[in-house]
Amino acid sequence: MTRIRLFDSIRWRFLLIHLLSSLLTSLVLLLGNLLANYILQFNRINAVLVWIINHIGSRPVMIVSGAVLYLLFYYIFSRPMVRYAGEIAATLQLMENGRFHQPAPVQSPNELGLIASRANGVAEELNDYLREINHGLQEIAKGHFQYDIPVRPDHVLGEIAESINQMSAQLHHSIQEERKAEKTKNDLITGVSHDLRTPLTSILGFLELIEKDRYFDEVELRYYIGIAYDKSVALKKLIDDLFEYTRINNDMPLDLKRIDMNDFFRQLAEEFVPNLESEGVSCRVHAPDYPVNIKADGDHLVRAYENLISNAIRYGNAGKRIDIYIQERDDKAVIQVVNYGEPIPERDLPFIFDRFYRADKSRSKQTGGGTGLGLAITKSIIEVHGGSISASSSERQTCFETILPITK
C-alpha cells in the first residue's frame, strides 16, 4: 500500500488553508483598521465611517468583514483541490460508462492522487483483462473452441471467463456430437445400402433367369427359387434388424418391470433347447440361490440375450457347451455368456459391437451369416437400460459380460 507523507495529507492541506485564510483575514482586518483610523482624521471624508461606528459599531463590522474575508480566502485556496476532485469524479464517470482508456490525472501525492492512481490501476487491469476476454471470444468465433481464456482467481471477470470457457467446451462437444451423429447416419446409410443391395441383386439375378426361362428343368427352377427365397428371408431379417436398431436408438419407450434374472435365463435356456440339440451343444445356467432383480423391458431384454446365446451357439458349437453365469456385484447384476469355441481375433474385439461388423467373414458365410446388427442391437438395448456390455476372448473361452443396475 502506498504511504502518504504527513504534510501531503488532505487534512494538513485543509489545516494549512484554514491557517492561511485566518492569517490573511487578520492581516486585512488589521490594515483596514489602520486605514480607518487614518481616514477618521479628515473631517471631509470620514462622515460614512463615523456614521457606521455610531449606528452599527466597529466590532460587528469587524466580525462580519472577517467572516466574509475568511470565506473568500478559504474558497480561493481550496479551489484547486476541489477542481482536482471534480476531474477525478469526471474520469470515474467515464469509467462507469465503460471508457477505461481515459486515465484520471495524478497531480498530487495526497489521498486524491492515491485515489486517481488506484482508479487508473483498476481501469488498466479491467481494460487488459477485457482485451484478453475479447481476444478469446474472437478465437472461439473463428471455431477455435480449444482456446481457453485465462481465468483469474477471485475476480468477477474471472468467473465470466470461466463461464465462457465452459460454454465453449460444451459447444465444441455439441458440434463434435453433431458431426459424429452425421457421420454415423452416413455410415449407416452406406452400410444399409450395401447390405440391402447384395441380397437384392442375387434375388433379381435369379428371378431374371426364371423370367427368361434360362433353366434346364424343374429341378434347376426350384433350385433358383430356393436361393431367391433364402435371400429374401435374409433381406427381411436385415430390414427387421435395421428397424429394431433404429427404434432402439431413437428413444424408444420402455415398459419397465421387475425381472428376476435367474428365472429369466432358465426360461430363455429352455426356449433354445431345439437349437442347442440340433448343434449338439448344452447350456447351463449358474445362478445364486437368491433372486437377482432388475427393472427392464422384458421383450427387449429377451432380444438382447437371444443375440448373445445365438452367437454362442453359432460360433461356439465346437466347445459343445455354453455357460451362463449370474452374479450380484456392487449392487449390479453381472451376467456372463461364455462359449468355448474358436476365439475372436484380438484385432476384432474393439469393433464387434459396431454396426455391420463381422469378426470372421469366412466363418460368417459358412454359418449362415448374420446381418451385422445383432451385437449392435444388444449393446443399444443394454445401454438404454443403464447398463454396459463388453467382450473378452482367449484360446480357452469367449465371454460376453453385461452389467445392469439391480432393483431392491
391 contacts 374 by C-beta, under 8 angstroms: no
Q: Is the pLDDT of residue 402 over 90?
A: yes
366 — pLDDT class (breaks 50, 70, 90): very low
Domains, the chain:
6-129 (no CATH), 254-405 (3.30.565.10)
Specify the pTM: 0.52
**3-class DSSP assignment, residue 94:** helix
In 3D, which of 339, 322, 349, 326 has the Cα closest to residue 404? 326
Q: What is the pLDDT of residue 44?
A: 64
Q: Is pLDDT of 123 > 90?
A: no
Predicted pLDDT at 365: 40
Residue 337 · residue 305 · CB < 8 Å: yes
Long-range contacts of 162-166 (CB under 8 A, 24+ apart): 164/133, 164/136, 164/137, 164/140
pLDDT of residue 361: 44
Q: Is the dihedral of CA 115, 121, 125, 131 positive or negative?
A: positive
Report whether pLDDT(21) > 80: yes
The DSSP symbol for 354 reads: S
pLDDT in tens, 284-327: 999 999 999 999 988 889 988 988 998 899 888 888 899 999 99
Q: What is the pLDDT of residue 45?
A: 64
Q: Which of 100-104, 215-219, 335-339 has the lowest mean pLDDT?
A: 100-104
What mean pLDDT comes out for the span 149-162? 84
Per DSSP, helices labelled H in 142-215 are 156-211
The pLDDT confidence band at residue 106, using thresholds 50, 70 and 90, is: confident
Per-residue model confidence (pLDDT) at position 202? 83
Cell of 166: 465452459
Q: Residues 64-74: what's their mean pLDDT?
A: 90
The mean per-residue pLDDT over the stretch 148-159 comes to 84
Instruction: List the one residue out of 375, 372, 380, 344 whose CA is nearest residue 198.
Output: 372
Weakest mean pLDDT among 111-125, 204-218, 350-364: 350-364
pLDDT at residue 5 greater than cutoff 70: no
Q: Is 24 helix (H, G, I), strand (E, B) or coil?
A: helix
Average pLDDT, the chain: 81
Single-letter amino acid, residue 62: M
> At 335, is the pLDDT very low, low, confident or very high (cuts 50, 70, 90)?
very high
- Residue 334: pLDDT band (50, 70, 90) is very high
**Integer-rounded Cα radius of gyration of the chain:** 48
